[in-house]
Structure 1
Amino acid sequence: MAASTEGASQAPSAEDLKLYELSQKYTAEAAKRLRPDGLSQFVRLKDAGSERLRTLAEDPWADHAALNAKPLVQDGSKHKFVILGAGFGGLLYAVRLIEAGLASQPSDILLVDAAGGFGGTWWWNRYPGLHCDIESYSYMPLLEKTGYVPKKKYSTGPELRDYANLIADKWSLHDKALFRSSIKAARWDDATQLWTVDATENRGPGEEARELKLHGQYLLVASGILTNPHVPKVTGLEDFAGPLFHTARWDYKVTGGSPVDEKLTGLEGKRVGIIGTGATAIQAVPKIAKYAKELYVFQRTPSSVNWRGQRPTDPEEWKTKIATKQGWQRDRMLNLDSFLTDAPEEENLVADGWTEMPAFSAVIGSPRYGIIEPTPEKIAQHVGRIYKLDLPHTESVRARTERIVQNPETAAKLKAWYPTWCKRPCFSDEYLEAFNQSNVHLVDTDGKGIDSATSGGLVFAGKEYPLDILILSTGYVTPSIGGGSPAVRTGIDIFGRNGRSMDEKWQNHGASTLHGVSSNGFPNLFFAPLSQSAQASNNAFTLDVGTEHIVHVIEKAEARTGGNAIVEVTSEAEEAWALEIMRRAGWFATVMGCTPGYVTSEGEALKVSQDPVEMARKARSSNWSEGMASFLKLLEEYRADGSIKGFEVVSRAA
């Protein structure tokens, strides 16, 4: 989209012409990647038609013997809070409930997770090079309460997994968790006024799975956004003869090494292929390249890769500049967020590549410009302003690619031709450098993806690339699937009052919540905020704000009823909130210039509809457009009088 000019009579400036040419380039690159099958070009590993692919979804890390030795969670057991997910979101729920005095009995909380332990995405992902792309001082939750000092500015996967267990230790959560358990459905029982959760507990090889019904007064959904790996539907993929695995289930039996030992000696002398160049591949490729005889990187869309600057935590800096006062971590989260919402604070506390991207506000909002009126002129002005704001950063990143990668042809193919906000920005001081190694080969598919697989390799443009090992770095189910419905996103059927399906409500009516955390017709159900809330680049910040708000609502409802509440959003309140979200939807018109990916649900969000009902449904699925700081202030003002306006609270029947 072209940048706007101040007046129609003015000749376009050199910068305007440059922005216009750039937007045309972006549009052409996006068009190469648009596919009519959209999200259906992928399949969740666990739902794949091939048994070989389905088995790739299994948990390779679970200690079945140790877990089977624990006391059984009984079929029919009743709990005050059933929490779906035991990553940082589930842990935050549990800690806040305990700290609020809402879960005083050992059986009050039950965390249920398909993984074999705590950590969520950090349990599943153990690939070499894994670390968080958000600085650990802002990302790792509850640092003030645990007193933990992160080892590095960007914590590694093993450290984050250990930290999840540290939280579980401190708040005695190990005996409050049911692991290796997939959830099929959750139903509100109008008679018992409880949630019933249908779970299947996997007991490991040689053990029969257990079918369980679990009952909870409250159902809290904390299932993460990076736990359901998917793969493209590639002809012949399951026929590949060599070892095949997904990065979310890394196979160290094949590669050698371990999650804490990146000596991948099993790759020596091997021809290795990796499909995908997203955030995971950015971290894993340099480690693979050190050991593989030949490494072929198959790319559909290049990532934007800026500098990382990893370094150990300085104890003196920690004491004197970071953990200096009560509330320092929330302040630091807000400080980082301010630079991404184009409203920077005076001091840049984080000072990394993230803080150089004010145009990321295109997808998380900004408090600077108010509500964008949904007129063609105002939308064009807004999009033009964001593109102009983004230009210095994207040019800098492309220039960095050209500067680092020695082969000009390879460098050109590694440049990202889309706005900063369209794909998760990446940061590495090793990835681009790896392409200077003679054993690393970029296979750029120019937006098409590979054609097929054979028993001996991958085929693109009529050429077969012989491989001994194939690694799928193909990402996860997009969090915006199903319009952001908590049911579709987590793969769980959720039924509320009178058996109403949450999926059906979202599909027919659009996102329907109050503050993005609860929906009418689904009493005592709360979910991690996605649609109709504010989002941050730091997902732990989003979870921190969301669980804080949810527990406040529950606390007030329980106090009002003597600890026996049914709390439900009124239809009037959620419709009023939907109108506030829809008023702000114009801000997110910036995604229309994006390349297909998770931000656009693989291009499905880019389909323009003239149907007013469909347009309204899409607008309802938007987020708060004025940034997290603005949203947090709104929630704090809402909570100030303790009335939890918009929620109906009654006592459960005796």
Structure 2
Amino acid sequence: MAAAPSEEDLKVYALSQKYTEEATKRLRPELDDQFVNLKDAGEPRVRALSDDLWADHAALNARELVKDGSRYKFVILGGGLGGQLLAVRLIEAGLVKGAGDLLIIDIAGGFGGTWYWNRYPGLHCDVESYTYMPLLEETGYVPKFKYAPGYEILEHAERIATQWNLNDKALFRSKITAATWGEEKSLWSLDVIESRGPGEEERKLKIQADYFISANGILAVPQAPRVDGLASFAGQMFHTARWDYSITGGSQENPQLTGLEGKRVGILGTGATAIQSVPHLAKFAKELYVFQRTPSAVYERGQRPTDLEKWESKIAYKKGWQKERMENFALYCCGAPTDQPNMVDDEWTKLPGLRGQTGTPLFDLIQPTPEGIGAHIARLLKWNIPCGEKAHARVDAIVKDPETAAKLKAWYPVWCKRPTYNDEYLPTFNLPNVHLIDTDGKGVDSATERGLVVAGKEYPLDVLVLGTGFRSPLEGNGCPSVKMGVKIHGRGGRSFEEKWNTQGATTLYGTATSGFPNLFFMSPIQNGTAANWLHSCSVWTDNIVATIAKAESRVGDGSRPVVEVTVAGEEGWAGVMMQHAAAFAALSGCTPGYGNASGAFGGMPKDQAEMLKAARMAIWSFGIVSFTKLLEDYRAEGSLQGVEVTPVAA
């Protein structure tokens, strides 16, 4: 006779039913098509919301032009922190010697990536600055706070650019539209469009590169929901990724939003951006309406200034401290056994449910059977119970109105949406001028000239803020070329996108693929990942640079290498990744969001072939520290197994 279910088992069952109910009510048949990328919007007014507000066009136009037809050893797509880290590691490895060896291309008007674009009030990194901000050990910089504000991170990006002389190696306001491998010269030919600012004619360039490497991040293209009538709204409107201080007043450093005084302000969206910006909007708006489809789980942040004595004695006190601290943070996030103390000791490290997203070495490979997957999901849900209860209890303890508190509670596992950390957001809903407009998962009905309509009721607004996030990194089945926005053609003119869609995810260690020589990219798919994006980037960067350096050392004078993944190498790695896929089966039942392409990866595959293709999109399930050890062992072995190096004339 089977044992009666325990109280915990009954709680898990009830929660799974509630999670499924909440996810289902938010699932739309149009999936990611319910959003439009601002830059691709049909209405000029909406399309203009993606314009760069920060570029100093006069200063950039005064710089020496990158010449049409120029050739570089390395072209990096992306001038964010990941791209900068990659450039620095190439320089440190001795692979960049002359001025013509490196070019960084970015559509922004300067370095910083997401920290260049996002300048909204209240912006802070959600990961501890000591582990997130790259190259702290090399620059000697001491972050001012445990969680750095956005403007401090942007200043750090500029610091990195200055220390490694990257400013004269960058082409800003530019996008690569196509990349084609030339068999005859064994070079990449890149089609580039450089914007020159308002009233100036664009320049179209052809640039050649020995190596083409993408480091363009995962959340880079702002989007808006396809709300009927949005362009007709007569008030002022902007997206949080292009915060317009000419409308609100103030600045990122001094968020005195006096331009909102006496105005009715609406913010659409309650993700991480709204969690940080809503408290500032509430201080100045006459009335603030927060339009919510899905609430965020909001945990304590515990911000505090950096203790300089502790910094010198316990944090930055030895060589290699930052790598050790990053790995310590990752170990605690994924529940890995360790005898080290919890160095970061924040809420991230105390949410066992995160293991459903980061993986964990606490279990072996999950068997891809109904029984194996069912038992695994049940275990994850048990780990998630204290995470959900902690977030809900915090809402009840802070928000005074029970009805509002109930609507602010997130009903999905912590691995489904990135948790948020803030000490000001929840208390904001106790203010008399702040109104939560919960849409019960449906979103707003429409927009009018006067405001937004929810459940048939119009809410008049003077200012509308779109906190509606970014294009999903899984758009195009997670294809790296789609994420780059670049049409890539390799050997024989084969399209990267066509290969990916035909074969499924196909890489060696998530950063290169056969048929596309000297092309490297940063993607979480078929890789190891961490809650700290810059930790992931550092691991991927080290492997890319080490692979190139090893290949360069194999060719003699007068030659250069063509580095290409073998078919056997990438298929072997795809097979390994398929063994890890079942560990992430719980993601399929998540509330729609950018992490599952609005639910596109939530249904069961139609047939076995589709199921096998989907399994190839897995990540390493034992955590990034384990993955790092795998790569370090691979590099120490030294043969570059799975990679072919062919010398060609320099």
TM-score under structure 1 normalisation?
A: 0.98
Instruction: Choose from 403, 411, 414 the match for 1:417.
Output: 411
Q: Distance in 2 between matches of 1:201 and 1:598?
A: 29
Q: Distance in 2 between matches of 1:652 and 1:529?
A: 28
Alignment-derived partner of residue 393 in structure 1: 387
User: What are the Cα deviations for residues 10-64 of structure 1, in whole angstroms up to 9, with x where unaligned?
Assistant: 0011111111111111111011101111011111110111111111111100000
User: What are the Cα deviations for residues 493-550 of structure 1, in whole angstroms up to 9, with x where unaligned?
Assistant: 1111111111111111111000000000110000013210011000000000000100
Paired residues of 1:59 and 1:115 also in contact (CA < 8 A): yes
> Which one-letter code corresponds to 1:570 in the other structure?
T
Paired residues of 1:484 and 1:530 also in contact (CA < 8 A): no
Deviation (angstroms), 1:170: 0.6
Alignment-derived partner of residue 562 in structure 2: 566
Deviation (angstroms), 1:345: 3.1
Paired residues of 2:491 and 2:516 also in contact (CA < 8 A): yes
Q: Map 1:165-564 onto structure 2 (within 5 A).
A: 165-346=158-339, 347-562=341-556, 564=560
Local SS of the residue matching 1:107: helix
Superposition misfits of 4+ residues, deviation over 4 angstroms: none
Residues 344 and 63 of structure 1, relative CA distance in 2, 3 Å threshold: farther
Local SS of the residue matching 2:276: helix
Alignment-derived partner of residue 643 in structure 2: 647
Alignment-derived partner of residue 98 in structure 1: 91
Alignment-derived partner of residue 5 in structure 1: none
> Which one-letter code corresponds to 2:319 in the other structure?
Q
Q: Distance in 1 between matches of 2:24 and 2:606?
A: 21
Paired residues of 2:480 and 2:523 also in contact (CA < 8 A): no
> Which one-letter code corresponds to 2:11 in the other structure?
K
> Which one-letter code corresponds to 1:332 in the other structure?
R
Deviation (angstroms), 1:653: 3.5
Local SS of the residue matching 2:213: strand
Q: Map 1:114-125 onto structure 2 (within 5 A).
A: 114-125=107-118
Paired residues of 2:273 and 2:467 also in contact (CA < 8 A): yes
User: What are the Cα deviations for residues 256-286 of structure 1, in whole angstroms up to 9, with x where unaligned?
Assistant: 0112110000000000000000000000000
Q: Distance in 2 between matches of 1:196 and 1:154?
A: 41
Q: Distance in 2 between matches of 1:436 and 1:102?
A: 57
> Which one-letter code corresponds to 1:171 in the other structure?
W
Q: Distance in 1 between matches of 2:184 and 2:40?
A: 34
Deviation (angstroms), 1:93: 1.1
Alignment-derived partner of residue 53 in structure 2: 60
Q: Distance in 2 between matches of 1:454 and 1:183?
A: 37
Alignment-derived partner of residue 9 in structure 2: 16
Q: Distance in 2 between matches of 1:245 and 1:511?
A: 36
Q: Distance in 1 between matches of 2:87 and 2:455?
A: 52
Q: Are 2:157 and 1:161 aligned?
A: no
> Which one-letter code corresponds to 2:518 in the other structure?
N
Paired residues of 1:570 and 1:646 also in contact (CA < 8 A): yes
Alignment-derived partner of residue 3 in structure 1: none
Q: Distance in 1 between matches of 2:91 and 2:68?
A: 24
Instruction: Choose from 587, 590, 595 the match for 1:594.
Output: 590
Q: Distance in 2 between matches of 1:135 and 1:385?
A: 28
Paired residues of 2:75 and 2:104 also in contact (CA < 8 A): yes
Q: Are 2:577 and 1:584 aligned?
A: no
> Which one-letter code corresponds to 1:441 in the other structure?
H
User: What are the Cα deviations for residues 432-474 of structure 1, in whole angstroms up to 9, with x where unaligned?
Assistant: 0100000110000000000100011000110000000000000
Paired residues of 1:483 and 1:618 also in contact (CA < 8 A): no
Instruction: Choose from 633, 638, 652 the match for 2:634.
Output: 638
Paired residues of 1:342 and 1:359 also in contact (CA < 8 A): no
Q: Distance in 2 between matches of 1:582 and 1:110?
A: 36
Q: Which runs of 5+ in 2 are unaligned?
A: none
Q: Distance in 1 between matches of 2:128 and 2:397?
A: 26
> Which one-letter code corresponds to 2:125 in the other structure?
C
Q: Distance in 1 between matches of 2:595 and 2:136?
A: 30
Local SS of the residue matching 2:649: coil
Q: Which runs of 5+ in 1 are unaligned?
A: 1-7
Deviation (angstroms), 1:360: 0.6
Paired residues of 1:339 and 1:357 also in contact (CA < 8 A): no
Q: Distance in 2 between matches of 1:370 and 1:577?
A: 18
Deviation (angstroms), 1:107: 1.4
Q: Distance in 2 between matches of 1:324 and 1:81?
A: 35
Paired residues of 2:396 and 2:402 also in contact (CA < 8 A): yes
Q: Distance in 1 between matches of 2:376 and 2:242?
A: 42
Q: Are 2:608 and 1:615 aligned?
A: no
Q: Distance in 1 between matches of 2:403 and 2:593?
A: 24
What is the count of residue pairs matched by the alignment? 647
Q: Distance in 2 between matches of 1:48 and 1:552?
A: 41
Alignment-derived partner of residue 606 in structure 1: 602
> Which one-letter code corresponds to 1:228 in the other structure?
V
Alignment-derived partner of residue 4 in structure 1: none
Q: Distance in 1 between matches of 2:586 and 2:198?
A: 49
> Which one-letter code corresponds to 1:210 in the other structure?
R
